[in-house]
């Protein structure tokens, strides 16, 4: 850990860029807005989330109650496609958006303020 503030800032900037922190947070924020807009969807049991920070995107595929086999197959395909990238794939089961919020509360936090603070710190 560098003791010099400038060196520490440079190291943090490097890590933030390498890990694509801002891109990931922005993609999650946008995707969660889409999920919340479709809260009235009924019969949805599984969500496949595919995060691609280099594109600043998060795609969401929804599957009904009988869609676990199909969702799992798609998950495995996406995992292989993103193996050597900064992308991530997550398969989530949920009876409702509210239970998804309870199970994954950090996914529903508003990241805008954090991104603003990070930008200011790393400028």
Mean pLDDT, the chain, as a whole number?
Answer: 78
State the Cα–Cα distance between residues 29 and 73, nearest whole angstrom: 26
Q: Averaged over 30-46, what is the pLDDT?
A: 64
Name the pLDDT band for 38 (thresholds 50, 70, 90).
low
How is the chain split into domains, by residue range? 5-122
Of 56 and 18, the one with more pLDDT: 18
Distances (CA, A) of 110 to 15, 42, 107: 22, 25, 8
| Cα dihedral across residues 33, 85, 92, 103: positive or negative | negative
In this prediction, residue 9 carries a pLDDT of 80
In this prediction, residue 97 carries a pLDDT of 62
In this prediction, residue 73 carries a pLDDT of 97
Does the pLDDT of residue 91 top 70, yes or no?
yes
């Amino acid at each position: 850990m560098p003791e010099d503030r400038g060196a520490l800032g440079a190291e943090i900037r490097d890590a933030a860029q390498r890990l694509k922190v801002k891109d990931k947070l922005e993609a999650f924020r946008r995707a969660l807005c889409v999920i919340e807009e479709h809260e009235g969807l009924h019969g949805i049991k599984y969500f496949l989330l595919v995060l691609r920070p280099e594109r600043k995107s998060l795609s969401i595929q929804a599957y009904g109650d009988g869609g676990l086999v199909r969702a799992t197959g798609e998950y495995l395909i996406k995992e292989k496609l993103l193996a050597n990238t900064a992308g991530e794939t997550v398969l989530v089961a949920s009876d409702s958006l509210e239970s998804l919020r309870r199970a994954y509360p950090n996914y529903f936090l508003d990241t805008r303020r954090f991104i603003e603070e990070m930008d200011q710190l790393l400028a």
